Structure 1
Amino acid sequence: MARYGPTVRILPFTDDNQLVSTTGIFVDKPRNRILTAIGDLAGNSRRTTLATQYKLAALASYDRTTGKRLSYVDLGKLRPGASHFANDPAVDQQGNVYVTDSFAPIIYKIDPQGTASVFLEDSRLAAPAGSFGLNGIVFHPGGYLLVGKYDEGVLYKVPLTSLGQFTRVGSGSVFTSADGLFLADDNTLLIAANGKTNTVFWVRTVDGWATAKAAGAFPTGDVFPSAIARTGADVYVLESHVNALLGGQNPPVARFGIRRGNF
C-alpha cells in the first residue's frame, strides 16, 4: 500500500507479504488504523499462489501512523472450499468491521477483539460463477449498511439487526457497475461506476434510504473509476484501469491517476 503525500508524491505506507492484492481500503481515524480487504485474482499479483487464487478473502489492519500490521484475519476459512474475493470494508460506531465477498453471497463481521463471523449469507446476494457480486459497502450512522451488487446494478440497505429484512434501495443505470461507495452525508451517497458507465454519480434520498435518486453525475472517461475518498472538502476518485489489467492489455497501463472530483 502507498499513501498520497501532501507534496503530491506517492509515498510507501507498508509492504506486507500478506498483501496479495489490496482491494478496498478504509481509514478508521478514531482507532488510528487502516483496514484493507485482500483477495487474489489469478495472475494479477506477484504474490499469487494456487492456494489463494479465487479463494482468498482476508482483512488486514495497520497502524495509521507507523504502518505496522496490527492484525490479519482469514475470512475464507469460515466457508472453506468456496470461491472468495474480499472486496471492501466498512466500520460501525463500535469498531466492528464488515467486509463484502464478491465471489460468495456473504458479508463478514470482525468484532473489535478480532473475532470473525458470517454476518449475512443469502442466496439473493449470489452472482454467477466468475462474476463480481457484492462490492462497495458503507456504514450509515442510522444503524445499517448500504451495499452495492456489481453484477446486477443494485444497491441494498442492510440493517444491523433483522438481517433477513434487507431491502433494495434502487437499481438501474445509476447503480450499473457500481464499485466504490462513499457516504458524503446522511442523505447523499457517491458511487464510482465503471465498466461501460465510467461515471461518478451522487445519489440522494429523502426517506432514509428506502429509495434514492441520482442528483448529479461526473463522467470520468475510460479510466475504470473504482474508489472515492475525501480529505477536508476535497473528494478524490481513483482511476484504477482494472479493466486493462484483467484484460491483459499489452503494453500495460503506465500511468494511473487520482482525480479531484467536480462535486
Structure 2
Amino acid sequence: MDGGGIGEVVIRDSDSDDSEVLEEVILIKDVDIAGNASAGIVIDRDRNRLLVAIGDMVGNKYSALAAYDLSTWHRIFLTELSGHTLSSLHLDGSLTWSLLTALFITQTGSSSLSTLFSALLYKIDLTEGDQSNKVNVIEVTGGTLRFGDGIELLSPTKIVIAGSNPSTRLVESSDKWRTASVTGLFRSGMFHRLVSAATVKEGRIYLTHIVGFGSKK
C-alpha cells in the first residue's frame, strides 16, 4: 500500500452478505518509511515474519527491505538498498553482497537466475558448501537479452524473458545453466506496447504490459 504500510482485508464467510464492502485494516504504519510504497510482500512462515519490499515509486530515490514479526507486527529490521541491484542479506538484515541487476527468479532446489539491461544472464548457486551463493555469468548464444524486464521459469531447462523488441524470448539450457541459448522469439506486432512481466500457468505464457493503449484491430 502507499505510505509505507501494510493492510489486511479480512474475507468473510460464505453466509455473509455479498453486497457488503470489505474493509481494509491497517496492520503496519512505519514512520521511518513514510512517503514510500510497499511494493511487494512475502510471508516467511518458518521465521514468523513478513518481508516487505519498499520503494519510492515516483522519484526512485529510496529502496529498502523490512521484516516484521507476524505476531506483534514489530519491525525486526529495515535495510536500505541501492536502486537497480540484486542484494543478498543475512537473516538479521545485514547486507551480504549486491549485484547490479533488474530481475531475479528462483529455480527450485539449486540456483537462481537474473538478467540485466546490459543483456547478461547470471546464475547464483544456492547449494551448501564453500561455493554457496557464488555468482557466475551464463554464456548465452543465439540472440541478445538486452532490455529484458521480466523473467519466469517455464521448466528446469527453459526460462521466458519478457521485455521489448522482441517482447518475449525463450531461453534454454542443457547443462544446468552453465551455458544457454535463445531458441525462440515472440513479437506481438504492437510496438506501442511495452511488456514488463511474464507469467506461466499450465504451460501457457501470459504477458503483462506496462505501457499501451490497446489496439483497434
Does structure 2 conserve the Cα–Cα contact (< 8 Å) formed by 1:240 and 1:256?
no
Cα 1:116–1:192 change in 2 (3 A) is same
Of 74, 79, 90, the match for 1:75: 79
In the TM superposition, what are the counterparts of 1:57-76 in structure 2 within 5 Å? 57-58=64-65, 74-76=78-80
Matched residue, 1:6? none
Aligned to 1:174, the other structure's residue is in SS state coil
Residue 180 (structure 1) aligned with residue 150 (structure 2): yes
2:136 alignment partner AA: T
Residue 116 (structure 1) aligned with residue 93 (structure 2): yes
Q: Matches of 2:25 and 2:172 in 1, distance apart?
A: 36
Does structure 1 conserve the Cα–Cα contact (< 8 Å) formed by 2:140 and 2:181?
no
1:189 alignment partner AA: I
1:216 deviates by 1.1
1:211 deviates by 0.6
Q: Higher helix proportion, which one? A: 1
Matched residue, 2:7? none
Q: TM-score, normalised by structure 2?
A: 0.62
1:137 deviates by 0.8
Aligned to 1:191, the other structure's residue is in SS state strand
Q: Matches of 1:200 and 1:14 in 2, distance apart?
A: 39
Q: Which runs of 5+ in 2 are unaligned?
A: 2-22
1:154 deviates by 0.2
Describe the superposition over 1:7-49 as per-residue Cα deviations: whole angstroms up to 9, x where unpaired.
Answer: xxxxx999987693465x5877998x99763322544xxxxxx
Of 107, 131, 135, the match for 2:87: 107
1:191 deviates by 0.5
Of 195, 200, 206, the match for 1:230: 200
Of 211, 214, 224, the match for 2:182: 214
Does structure 2 conserve the Cα–Cα contact (< 8 Å) formed by 1:20 and 1:39?
yes
Cα 1:28–1:214 change in 2 (3 A) is farther
Cα 1:211–1:119 change in 2 (3 A) is same
Q: Matches of 2:36 and 2:163 in 1, distance apart?
A: 24
Matched residue, 2:120? 154
Q: Which runs of 5+ in 1 are unaligned?
A: 2-11, 44-52, 64-68, 86-101, 126-132, 242-252, 258-263
Residue 143 (structure 1) aligned with residue 126 (structure 2): no
1:166 deviates by 1.8
Cα 1:164–1:219 change in 2 (3 A) is same
Residue 166 (structure 1) aligned with residue 138 (structure 2): no
Describe the superposition over 1:141-164 as per-residue Cα deviations: whole angstroms up to 9, x where unpaired.
Answer: 2422111122x1100111126257
Cα 1:13–1:199 change in 2 (3 A) is farther
Cα 1:13–1:178 change in 2 (3 A) is farther
Matched residue, 1:88? none
Q: Matches of 1:116 and 1:168 in 2, distance apart?
A: 26
Describe the superposition over 1:193-249 as per-residue Cα deviations: whole angstroms up to 9, x where unpaired.
Answer: 23xx241111110000001111212124332211122333433211012xxxxxxxx
Identity level (%): 19
Of 56, 64, 67, the match for 2:63: 56
| Pair member with larger Rg | 2
2:55 alignment partner AA: G
Describe the superposition over 1:61-88 as per-residue Cα deviations: whole angstroms up to 9, x where unpaired.
Answer: 8x9xxxxx89785331xx6xxxx23xxx
Report how many aligned residue pairs link the two structures. 180
Describe the superposition over 1:164-210 as per-residue Cα deviations: whole angstroms up to 9, x where unpaired.
Answer: 7421113574311122111111101111123xx24111111000000
Aligned to 2:103, the other structure's residue is in SS state strand
Cα 1:137–1:164 change in 2 (3 A) is closer
Matched residue, 2:163? 193
Aligned to 1:207, the other structure's residue is in SS state coil
